[in-house]
Amino acid sequence: MQNIYDSRQRLKYVFIVTAVLIAIISVVVSDILIKDLAKEERQKMEVWADATRLTASMDSAVDMSLVLKIIQGNTTIPVVLCNDKDSIIADKNVDFPDKDVEAFKKAKVKELKSKNKIVIDMGDNSFQYVYYDDSIILKRLLIYPYVQLTVVFVFILIAFLALASTKKAEQNKVWVGLSKETAHQLGTPISSLIAWMEYLKTKDIDPSLLEEMGKDINRLGTIAERFSKIGSNPEPLPVDICSAVQSAVGYMQTRISSKVQLITLLPDKPIFVLMNDSLFSWVIENLTKNAVDAMEGHGKIIYQVEEKDKIVRIDVSDSGKGIVKSKFKTVFNPGYTTKKRGWGLGLSLVKRIIESYHNGQIYVKSSELGKGTTFRIELRKCKV
């Protein structure tokens, strides 16, 4: 059965790629604009340098009013004109401090010299130098791509958080609605079966058969109770985790293939955890069924309980076909299954019960193709 979330995953990747492409195109376009503006500013500075040279030449054929207009027309680009000893002859759009002017001039010349430089040939074997900085507009444009990228990534982050929140809310509604409806639908036939049991007890029927029927009816009642608790907030109670595991394994032992060996490795002393025993046994049953399917009805399953500091670890290991590492998290998604039949809800339900109702976590501890898988549950110990 195909995972129903595959299409959503592909859509997510398409969204990411599209956002990245938009960001790259924005950066490329901004870079082109920056280069064009920088080129234009250099051309302006070259004209300014020529105008300065003409001013110094005092050529009577030159329209000095036009030259002065060109020089004074620069109102945005910080620039200094220096001699061959880097002493400032003239400046424009540079603010000098009231104190330590000479030190500031040297530092400013050194700073501008490292950025942009134009050499002016004065025609008498002497040279002057124009050092200038980028304009305020160009500096802002240099920062703009980073601001733009930040806005794009913040938008992507918010969109993903909103999408994840919406999807989780939808899943919660589906889980709760399905569970409540299942519990409701089971209630009527269970009540009817109980009545029939009482009636059959008055007849000449083998008591051992009635006892087995009673066990199955009680089992149906337990299942209905479990479904009714999904969506509610059942009060957790201190329960010995070793006894809970042993009880759940014991129940499954008679309901799976005799070719599957169930082994429990439990501490000698009780370990108490705040939990709902009915829901937790559902977790063990689902993990067991999942392991039996992975082993195709023959092999062994090991249940091991150990404590470390304030954490209790429950490992469920099988000798099945294993899981590829890329699917360690995917297996818990609703709808994920490798079987031809089934809805792929078992491990998703297990994860929900452990995380939502027991404040614990479950994950694939290890897996090797052809050798088996180990699922690990971590819960917090409690004092009795």
State pLDDT tens for residues 299-356: 999 999 999 889 999 999 999 999 999 889 888 876 666 665 554 567 888 998 898 8
Q: Where in the chain is the domain with CATH 3.30.565.10?
A: 235-380
| pLDDT at residue 331, rounded to an integer | 87
Q: Is 344 left (phi over 0), alpha (psi -120 to 50) or beta?
A: left
Coil, helix or strand at residue 345: coil
Could you say which residues of the chain have pLDDT below 50? 1-4, 343
Cα-based distances in Å from 122 to 58, 67, 74, 85, 131: 12, 16, 21, 15, 16
Residue 303 structure tokens: 């249940």
> Under a CB-based contact definition with an 8 Å cutoff, are residues 163 and 63 in contact?
no
| pLDDT at residue 57, rounded to an integer | 62
> Under a CB-based contact definition with an 8 Å cutoff, are residues 377 and 283 in contact?
yes
Architecture of the domain delimited by 235-380:
2-Layer Sandwich (3.30)
H helices present in 201-301, as ranges? 207-229, 241-253, 277-294
Find where tokens 């829901």 sit: 279
| pLDDT at residue 360, rounded to an integer | 94
Cα-based distances in Å from 177 to 66, 171, 262, 338, 344: 83, 10, 34, 26, 18
| pLDDT at residue 1, rounded to an integer | 42
Long-range CB contact pairs, 18-26, < 8 A, 24+? 19/152, 19/155, 19/156, 22/152, 23/148, 23/149, 23/152, 23/153, 26/145, 26/148, 26/149, 26/152
Query: DSSP state, 381?
Result: B
Distant-in-sequence, close-in-space partners of 71: CB < 8 Å, separation ≥ 6: 48, 51, 52, 55, 92
> Under a CB-based contact definition with an 8 Å cutoff, are residues 239 and 275 in contact?
yes
Distance, in Å, from the CA atom of 75 to the CA atom of 95, rounded to the nearest integer, reads: 13
Q: What angle do CA 158, 159, 165 make, to 5 degrees?
A: 90
CA-based end-to-end distance of the chain: 45
